[in-house]
Structure 1
Amino acid sequence: MAAQGDRGVPLSTLCPKYLHANSTSHTWPFSAIAELIDNAYDPDVNAKQFWIDKIVVKKQDCLSFMDNGYGLDKDKIHKMLSFGYSDKTPVKGVKPIGMYGNGFKSGSMRLGRDAIVFSKSKSVSCVGMLSQTYLEEIGANQIIVPIVCFERKEKKNVREEHKASLQDILRYSPFNKPEEIQAEIDGISSKTGTRIIIWNLRSTSSKPSEFDFERDRYDIRIPSEFDETMKDAAPKPGPSQVTKSNIPESVSSLRAYCSILYLKPRMQIIVRGQKVKSQLIAKTLAFVRKDHYKPTFLPKRIPITFGYNTRSKDQYGIMLYHKNRLIKAYERVGCQLKANNKGVGVIGIIECFFLEPTHNKQSFDETDKYRKTMNSIPRSDRIKTG
């Protein structure tokens, strides 16, 4: 029977199958990881550091994400595991990237079937689980999220209302004893912070994981085979062929992607124990010129930086950021789409705060504003390329 509202009107419910359907917006696995980074980066969490690692839990490869932000209480972790709850607001002029209250769900479920969240705030420690395997095992017809909270001063005491959740977490997660749960909470190295562990990682037809953890011990890579995932993520190079030389390293290397993820980084990202060196792209360009875009729908001009890529002339195009976060990388425009050498090697950088990102934050809504912007900014042929 359908759940009823206050006046007897049926409430909409959410089927567990939605977890997978929702995750498919991320055709590229790094965009899913970026959602988890954004959550720590936003001012309501205000993490200074974010760790990404591959770990093994009971002989099973897992992904681990940890921040040293403010941590979560019961209400916040419940909203994190629910859909559409986003009450983020600017803090000291810093605007949050998250808007839809969906990033953790779409991102984590894209990377694996199951996720568990451990968090420490000033007053309470919380554990929550979002697991497709669990929902299938219990035959759930709605999404259920077990949540357990511990008072920081009384680590072992569990309230009666949380005992059923603890029982399910111990049974269906890789952590089968209360001591193991507590060890993971204690493993958060800072006084406050959050750690996410994802298991049952997505596999490919030929490999147990879509990631290559072996090629570089300090990186997480997409395997070198030029598969459909990389084709979707690669920039569109116009009429020329897509070759390995003009696919940016950021498409297949998480370390390289994280280095350009934010226009002006405020948080240190550590991938597999080694700090990511952020690339301030504008400072790496030669023959730099400043330009402006003045759309009719805005009262002021938007600055654009153009320059020549001294590292690789095969990687070029426009870098489009929104609220400091990279949305589209190496997007070819204007003369760069034609079968000639004009604009080759030229990079443009623009902060598109006036556009709306798509659900997966890998493009912008195809609005009239977006089309006008893309048609108006191709000035790359003005830059000296030799």
Structure 2
Amino acid sequence: MSAIPKTEKNGIAVVDIDIDDDDIDAAAGDYIVGSSSKPPSFQGHLDHARVHPKFLHTNATSHKWAFGAIAELVDNAVDEIQNGATYVKVDRVHIIKDNSPALSFLDNGGGMSPESLRKCMSLGYSSKKSKTTIGQYGNGFKTSTMRLGADAIVFSRATCSGKLERLLDPRFRLHRDTISLCQPSAPRFTVLLSGRAKNHRSSTIPIDFDISGHWAEPIIYGSQDDWSAHLKTILEWSPFTSKEELMLQFDDIGLHGTKVVIYNLWLNDEGIYELSFDDDAEDIRLRDEANQGDMKKLHKKAVQLQSHISYRMRYSLRAYVSMLYLKKFSNFQIILRGKPVDQFNIADELNYSQIVSYRPQLAMGSNEAAVLTTIGFIKEAPNLNVSGFNVYHKNRLIKISEKL
């Protein structure tokens, strides 16, 4: 955009923009991906991981900031509101297997069928065509989980054609080739795993369970030895040590929903987990950012200013998520470490606020829509040295205090 109004010092502006996704889709190109309901054979065959052609166009959606990656996974749950989701729970879980922390996301949306889950695991594929959904390009899940940790395991339960299907899918490891277990017909329980495949090739392996009876029965396409070997691989590379422990993960999902567990979380340059779970029992913090504003080393006035949400949202997930969506949800909660997040709109806290209609001044004849912008001064001005525009797209914060 050009001819953008400048902000005064200590001013915060909130902008909600809407980009025409048809133009983006046209630039990306239209691709048709066929689907198959046939489960791949186990015998001598590893089904390769898929890469959708749009991935070549949309691979720029990677994350440098850990909170940006977390926001992508929260977005997936928010997109499930149209399928009945009423909450997403973000929490730390403890991996007993190696005594390490992991990050968990749980929603009660519609869940994914085996076919949907298989497509979800491909790069660049997206079935989200609605203009109201945040996710569009099929990269968010993959890039966000890779940003936060080396491995992720996904559990999803969906009701398809009146039958309950339960799915488990650990995603590919960043440093190992993909093994996945997938694509049954209902009603089955599917397990997908990431690990090291034979010959170091990126491959997928299906393991199914028939749950039409009172307990899960393995569906064997090859031999019992093959099936047992694949299960052993899952237990070797996942955080869980038994088939029973895997299936227990569905207990907190309910009738439908999805659970993502990201483990082998990344470390910072000092060899410490970059996400801190110990500073606040109701929050998740970025360790390096939080240390830059160590309250113990600051004067009383500085502590007061550093406590402002415009600072805290850079290292406190609770503060950041509170401003992540411009309009408040009516029937949906983001629950962080057991406590709901109170949504916060900084535009409601501005002094001398004004609503300005801004229209980008582009080429002659352009049909850019006007943007309503709320501008004003934060209450702590001029002492608090924060200014810029908070920019929202489809109700979602995409730029923080952007200098324009």
TM more than 0.5: yes
For 2:252, the equivalent position in structure 1 comes to 187
The answer (yes or no) to whether the contact 1:288–1:306 under 8 Å persists in 2 is: yes
SS in 1 for 2:68: helix
Task: Quote the Cα distance in structure 2 between the aligned partners of 1:78 and 1:204.
Answer: 32
Structure 1 residue corresponding to 2:266, chosen from 202, 212, 215: 202
Tell me by how many angstroms 1:60 deviates: 1.9
Structure 2 residue corresponding to 1:315, chosen from 372, 377, 386: 386
The answer (yes or no) to whether the contact 2:275–2:287 under 8 Å persists in 1 is: yes
Tell me by how many angstroms 1:165 deviates: 4.8
Task: Quote the Cα distance in structure 2 between the aligned partners of 1:195 and 1:13.
Answer: 22
Counterpart residue identity of residue 174, structure 1: P
For 2:375, the equivalent position in structure 1 comes to 306
Task: Quote the Cα distance in structure 2 between the aligned partners of 1:125 and 1:320.
Answer: 39
Counterpart residue identity of residue 370, structure 2: R
The answer (yes or no) to whether the contact 1:126–1:147 under 8 Å persists in 2 is: no
For 1:112, the equivalent position in structure 2 comes to 149
Equivalent residue runs for 1:266-277 within 5 Å:
266=329, 267-277=332-342
Tell me by how many angstroms 1:248 deviates: 2.1
For 1:258, the equivalent position in structure 2 comes to 321
Task: Quote the Cα distance in structure 1 between the aligned partners of 2:137 and 2:199.
Answer: 25
Counterpart residue identity of residue 72, structure 2: E
Tell me by how many angstroms 1:108 deviates: 0.6
Task: Quote the Cα distance in structure 2 between the aligned partners of 1:265 and 1:245.
Answer: 23
Gaps of 5+ in 1: 1-10, 231-242, 334-386
Counterpart residue identity of residue 258, structure 1: V
Change (3 A) 1:201 1:224: closer
For 1:68, the equivalent position in structure 2 comes to 108
Tell me by how many angstroms 1:158 deviates: 2.5
Task: Quote the Cα distance in structure 1 between the aligned partners of 2:167 and 2:286.
Answer: 33
For 1:128, the equivalent position in structure 2 comes to 169
Identify the structure with bigger relative contact order (alpha carbons < 8 Å, sequence gap 6+): 2
Change (3 A) 1:45 1:63: farther
Q: What do residues 166-221 of structure 1 show as CA deviations (whole Å, max 9, x unaligned)?
A: 44322321112111111001222x32111011111101232431011111110000
CA RMSD of aligned residues (A): 3.1
TM-score (structure 1 length as normaliser): 0.70
The answer (yes or no) to whether the contact 2:49–2:122 under 8 Å persists in 1 is: no
Equivalent residue runs for 1:237-248 within 5 Å:
248=311
Structure 2 residue corresponding to 1:144, chosen from 203, 210, 213: 203
Task: Quote the Cα distance in structure 1 between the aligned partners of 2:380 and 2:230.
Answer: 52
Change (3 A) 1:204 1:301: closer
Task: Quote the Cα distance in structure 2 between the aligned partners of 1:224 and 1:205.
Answer: 10
Tell me by how many angstroms 1:24 deviates: 9.5
Tell me by how many angstroms 1:56 deviates: 0.5
The answer (yes or no) to whether the contact 1:23–1:110 under 8 Å persists in 2 is: no
The answer (yes or no) to whether the contact 2:356–2:374 under 8 Å persists in 1 is: yes
Residue identity over aligned pairs, in percent, reads 35
Number of positions where the alignment pairs a residue of Structure 1 with one of Structure 2? 300
Task: Quote the Cα distance in structure 2 between the aligned partners of 1:314 and 1:140.
Answer: 56
Equivalent residue runs for 1:46-125 within 5 Å:
46-58=84-96, 59-90=99-130, 95-122=132-159, 123-125=164-166
Change (3 A) 1:254 1:151: farther
The answer (yes or no) to whether the contact 1:39–1:45 under 8 Å persists in 2 is: no
Change (3 A) 1:200 1:139: farther
Q: Does 1:324 align with 2:363?
A: no
Tell me by how many angstroms 1:264 deviates: 1.4
Task: Quote the Cα distance in structure 1 between the aligned partners of 2:267 and 2:351.
Answer: 41
TM-score (structure 2 length as normaliser): 0.67
For 1:30, the equivalent position in structure 2 comes to 67
The answer (yes or no) to whether the contact 1:56–1:62 under 8 Å persists in 2 is: yes
